[in-house]
Amino acid sequence: MSRFYRIFLFLFLVFLSPLTAQEYQLINVRYLPADYYVGDTVEMRFTLRMDQAGDLQVPEGLPDTGWVRVLSLGIEPGGADRDVVLRFIPYSPGTRTLPALDLGAVTVDDLKIFTSSVLAGDPRRELAGIRDNLLIPGTRPIGALIVSLFLSVPVLIIIMIRAVRRQTGELLKTYRLNLPYRKFLRLLKKIRLTMTDMNDRDFLKSFTRGLKNYLSTRFHQDLDSATTLEIESILMDSPVHETLGLSLLNIFHRLDGVKFAGEEMTEEEREGMLTEVEQISEELENWRRKHADL
């Protein structure tokens, strides 16, 4: 009887295991942008196919390790196939496995990403060898050298004056271009110091007005009274990188939730929004300096 009981228990566990283990497959994994580097904001989209239909939930806490920061996670409604959107910022190059994501019905623990590095395969960044000493030619007569230097002095003065004038003009131009960004950073610093005394309405008003004023200077359109839908149209039509446009648009959608849906923001959520918009504005300024389109 004991042997029969052990056989029965073994068969029961074998048939029960497929019912308790929720299997899944990752299908059609996509990245935006396709090639990304350390510090880029990346959007990953994939389809999660489950053997059994289950209720998927966004975890309360998103992973934030030393080498990757998960910004957001969204799950689109569906049946056995569910589309998942994950936004993150990698801080380490190479192939790494993302931290496990507990979605309720399943735990996804095999998401791998590959982060490129600007240092890889660039021979120009290698140290150059020691060069030979430069030798002053000794065949020119001393008198001819003195006369040549004397005649070159007026020309050198004119060249220096023009160079200084041109450099001064470039510095003034750069100062004027960077002024809106510096004003915006000062505003964020002021909000961070006083937001504990602000209610959601005052915080929303000050933050939204400052963000719209800054973006108005970068996209050369008055966004002070623009709606989120109008801002989305402007961002999508601009030459700025799509990932930056989506990141900015996500900020405005969250602000609309506070303004129109009555959502409340904790002090931690306010601080997180300030930090995120600082990172986005820095990426926007880097993009502007490289492309000079804004």
Give the pLDDT of residue 14.
42
Would you say the pTM of this structure is higher than 0.85? no
Q: What is the model's pLDDT at position 63?
A: 80
CB 104 within 8 A of CB 88: no
pLDDT given at position 155? 78
More confident residue, 123 or 190: 190
pLDDT tens-digit readout, 202-242: 888 899 999 999 999 988 888 888 898 998 888 888 888 88
Q: Say how far residue 65 (Cα) sits from the centre of its chain.
A: 16
pLDDT tens per residue across span 64-80: 788 898 888 888 876 66
Mean pLDDT of the chain: 80
- Domain segments of the chain: what residues? 22-115, 156-291
DSSP code, position 130: P
Task: Give the per-residue pLDDT at 15.
Answer: 46
Phi first, then psi, for residue 147 (nearest 5°) are -65, -40
∠ Cα 254 256 259 (to 5°): 120
* Dihedral class, residue 95 (left if φ above 0, else alpha if ψ from -120 to 50, else beta): beta
Is the distance from CB of 146 to CB of 61 less than 8 angstroms? Answer: no
Q: How confident is the model at residue 183, as a pLDDT? A: 92
Q: What percent of the chain is modeled with pLDDT above 70? A: 81
H/E stretch holding 33? none
Decide the pairing of beta strands 81-90 and 42-50: antiparallel
Residue 92 has what DSSP assignment? S
